[in-house]
């Protein structure tokens, strides 16, 4: 039997930003953004010797909006969303075992069984567990610390392979 992993997580705006960034750029919007950026860069490069300063400025502006503007807006949204959240400034206790994932905050407890997990992904900064009941649990890697490998092992062994997108090494 695998050991239980108990994590105390204080969600910060940077963690929520990482989650929002992943969701935005790994969906339809991400594909459309990449096409627009690529198309704009190609137009800018192929038309570099031609007159048309306004067109070049517009193309650079389009590129900047998708490369810097969208992430900046997501950063602002993460800070605002966390500020309005009832968990702002309060730690959540995650108890992850072969029975499921239990989240506690004060007197409140939420239990998710493994069959309720829709997907598990790993970003550069977090492990995100998507749940049918609670949306997603954001587990920042720097707060997981020494339980990182045990957590990954529990997640891999209790979720279907196609749902679990964890990297092989840290």
pLDDT digits (tens, 9 = 90+) for 21-62: 998 988 899 999 999 999 999 988 887 777 778 888 999 999
Characterize the bridge pairing of strands 126-131 and 135-140: antiparallel
CA 2-138-98 angle, 5° bins: 20
Separation CA 165–CA 23 (nearest Å): 14
156 close to 163: Cβ distance less than 8 angstroms: no
Confidence tier at 66 by pLDDT (50, 70, 90) = very high
Above 60 in pLDDT, residue 1? Answer: no
What global pTM score does this model have? 0.82
Separation CA 85–CA 71 (nearest Å): 21
What is the CATH T-level fold of the domain 5-11+89-165, as seen in this structure? PH-domain like (2.30.29)
Separation CA 123–CA 110 (nearest Å): 24
Q: Where does the chain hold its CATH 2.30.29.30 domain(s)?
A: 5-11+89-165
């Amino acid at each position: 039997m695998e050991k239980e992993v108990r994590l105390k997580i204080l969600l910060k705006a940077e963690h929520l930003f990482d989650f929002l960034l992943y969701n935005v750029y790994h969906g339809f919007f991400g594909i459309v953004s990449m096409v627009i950026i690529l198309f704009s860069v190609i137009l800018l490069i192929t038309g570099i010797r031609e007159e048309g300063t306004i067109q070049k400025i517009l193309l650079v502006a389009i590129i900047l909006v998708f490369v810097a503007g969208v992430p900046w807006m997501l950063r602002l949204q993460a800070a605002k969303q966390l500020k309005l959240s009832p968990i702002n400034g309060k730690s959540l206790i995650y108890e992850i075992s072969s029975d499921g994932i239990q989240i506690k905050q004060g007197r409140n407890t939420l239990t998710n069984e493994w069959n309720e997990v829709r997907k598990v992904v790993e970003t550069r900064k977090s492990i995100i567990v998507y749940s049918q009941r609670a949306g997603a649990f954001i587990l920042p890697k720097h707060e997981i610390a020494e339980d990182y490998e045990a957590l990954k092992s529990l997640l891999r062994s209790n979720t279907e392979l196609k749902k679990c997108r964890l990297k092989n090494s840290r």
